[in-house]
């Protein structure tokens, strides 16, 4: 038997071994029957010194407990279903995550619609990608009833035409959508990306046209 190991065992028996060493030795102690027997004899020595009379020092109590526990499921096996039950209590988490994703998608689409000029393929894609649910009236959008373009009772809205609207580059929008893709639905994401791809030449043409206009003015 290793003397250093026995010295550690003695210190562990007295709760005088550092916790990190206890972890390692506890692992070995639980598997090494020789070490366990020595540990048991240390307990007997203590019982004799404390004069624990009336107590049978050779009682097979540990063996009896061990035999009973053989028929018991291990605690790790018991705790698995318990943690599963605990997981069932958190049913609201996926619902909340879905709600959050839908909110982010709705805000993103409204923001993009406010930024894009109407009539472009990207704007059309955004209009089709807007999630179902109550439509919001806010900055940059006006109710259809105000414009008179829709029949009474219709609830959809059309974007307000803003002459000074800043055109967000398609690449930047694509990066934005990709970065937030985990919060948007696959259909909306696919629609947006395909819209960016198809609108790329149109945006480039618009930029060329603007350059042409500027150079003509000069």
Q: Residues interacting with other proteins, by CB under 8 A? A: 6-7, 10-19, 22-23, 25-27, 29-31, 36-62, 64-66, 68-70, 72, 74-79, 82
The least CB distance from residue 70 to other proteins, in Å, is 8
The least CB distance from residue 93 to other proteins, in Å, is 24
Q: Which residues pair with 159 in a beta bridge?
A: 141
The least CB distance from residue 188 to other proteins, in Å, is 45
In terms of CB distance, is 36 or 135 closer to other proteins? 36
Q: What is the 3-state secondary structure (H, E, C) of the chain?
A: CCHHHHHHHHHHHCCCCCHHHHHHHHHHHHHCHHHHHHHHHHHHHHHHHCCCCCCCCCCCHHHHHHHHHHCCCCHHHHHHHHHHHHHHHCCHHHHHHHHHHHHHHHHHHHHHHHHCCCCCHHHHHHHHHCCCCCCCCCCCEEEHHHHCCCCCCCCCEEECCCCCCCCCCHHHHHHHHHHCHHHCCHHHHHHHHHHHHHHHHHHHHHHHHHHHHHHHHC
The least CB distance from residue 88 to other proteins, in Å, is 18
Residues ≥6 apart with Cβ < 8 Å to 17: 8, 11, 25
In terms of CB distance, is 42 or 111 closer to other proteins? 42
The least CB distance from residue 130 to other proteins, in Å, is 50
In terms of CB distance, is 43 or 178 closer to other proteins? 43
In terms of CB distance, is 51 or 166 closer to other proteins? 51
The least CB distance from residue 87 to other proteins, in Å, is 16
In terms of CB distance, is 5 or 127 closer to other proteins? 5
In terms of CB distance, is 2 or 215 closer to other proteins? 2
Whether residue 175 contacts residue 101, with contact meaning beta carbons closer than 8 Å, is answered with: no
């Amino acid at each position: 038997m290793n003397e250093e190991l026995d010295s550690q065992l003695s210190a562990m028996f007295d709760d005088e071994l550092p916790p990190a060493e206890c972890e390692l030795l506890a692992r070995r102690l639980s598997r090494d029957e020789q070490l366990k027997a020595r540990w048991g004899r240390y307990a007997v020595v203590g019982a004799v010194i404390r004069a624990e009379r009336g107590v049978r020092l050779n009682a097979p109590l540990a063996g009896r407990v061990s035999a009973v526990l053989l028929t018991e499921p291990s605690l790790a096996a018991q705790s698995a279903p318990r943690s599963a039950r605990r997981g069932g209590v958190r049913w609201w988490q996926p619902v909340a995550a879905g709600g959050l994703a839908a909110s982010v998608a709705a805000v993103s689409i409204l923001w993009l619609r406010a930024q894009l000029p109407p009539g472009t393929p990207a704007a059309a894609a955004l209009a089709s990608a807007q999630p179902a649910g109550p439509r919001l009236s806010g900055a940059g959008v006006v109710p259809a009833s105000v414009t008179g373009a829709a029949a009474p009772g219709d609830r959809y809205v059309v974007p307000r035409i803003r002459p000074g609207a800043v055109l967000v580059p398609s690449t930047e929008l694509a990066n934005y959508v990709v970065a937030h893709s985990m919060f948007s639905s696959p259909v909306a994401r696919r629609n947006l990306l395909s819209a960016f791809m198809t609108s790329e030449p149109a945006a480039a043409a618009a930029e060329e046209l603007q350059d042409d206009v500027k150079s003509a003015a000069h």
